[in-house]
Amino acid sequence: MVSSNHAHKKPLDIVVKMGLGVFVSSFALIWGGMYLTKPDRSIPPYTVGAQRGSLVAVHVPRDTSDEQVEKLLRRFQRVGHTSRDFGAMKMYPTTPGNPEGRYRSIVILVFSDEGWTEPAVLEQYERGDQETIKAAQRAMRGYYRLEGEEEEGVIGPLLQNGEDFTDARILFKGLVTDPLPVEMGSTERGISLSPL
């Protein structure tokens, strides 16, 4: 004989079920959003300070190492080789309306002093003010240049001695159709929508 203590459990009310569903769904949405927008830690945090046409000035924190700057330049290289969509890197189209692409030409200057990424300074640089250009080259941490199918990545201040860059180190120089180095393949995670 069945004990009366084992009475049938009453099913959950529909309002309780809906409340639990909303509760669980909210946590799933929050977790999914955090996962999809999490910062990309494989490159240093950076901000686009100013952009004039195809010239872009980028700021990284002062304590950013040369190795981290190199990772950032390599990421620009990978974008140049694959999607060529620097919009994902928070940069406006540099050649809008060009039938061959919105980023046919781009020069990204990397600085750790955000004063060099001010719009007025970038405007002087673009105009060809020699004092500004020389001072900027001394302060520069590196740059990435893409012109048509040719690209170049350089790290270090561009201290000029005649025509030679004495403290700069060329990371890569060639065509975007050249294969990427093996170490840049599948080991790096995908491009994040957040540059932070």
| pLDDT at residue 26 is higher than 90 | no
Does residue 53 form part of some domain? yes
Does residue 33 form part of some domain? no
Name which residue leads in pLDDT, 117 or 5: 117
Does residue 126 form part of some domain? yes
Q: Name the pLDDT band for 188 (thresholds 50, 70, 90).
A: very low
- What is the domain count for the chain? 1
Residue 170 is part of which domain span?
A: 47-184
| pLDDT at residue 141 is higher than 80 | yes
Give me the mean pLDDT over the 119-147 stretch. Answer: 92
| pLDDT at residue 12 is higher than 80 | no
Look up residue 138 and give its two tokens.
């001394």
Does residue 111 form part of some domain? yes
Q: Is the dihedral of CA 192, 68, 186, 87 positive or negative?
A: positive
Does residue 192 form part of some domain? no
Lowest model confidence (mean pLDDT) among 23-32, 33-42, 145-154: 33-42
Q: What percent of the chain has pLDDT over 70?
A: 79
Task: Give the Cα separation of 27 and 132 in Å (integer).
Answer: 51
Give me the mean pLDDT over the 1-28 stretch. Answer: 73
Task: Give the Cα separation of 27 and 121 in Å (integer).
Answer: 46
Q: Name the pLDDT band for 190 (thresholds 50, 70, 90).
A: very low
Q: Rounded to whole angstroms, what are the CA distances from 13 to 10, 16, 21?
A: 9, 5, 12
| pLDDT at residue 187 is higher than 50 | no
Give me the mean pLDDT over the 2-9 stretch. Answer: 59
Contacts 24+ apart (CB under 8 A), 60-65: 60/110, 60/111, 60/112, 60/141, 61/112, 62/112, 62/113, 64/112, 64/141
Name which residue leads in pLDDT, 101 or 37: 101
Does residue 158 form part of some domain? yes
Does residue 38 form part of some domain? no
Task: Give the Cα separation of 170 and 46 in Å (integer).
Answer: 21
| pLDDT at residue 31 is higher than 90 | no
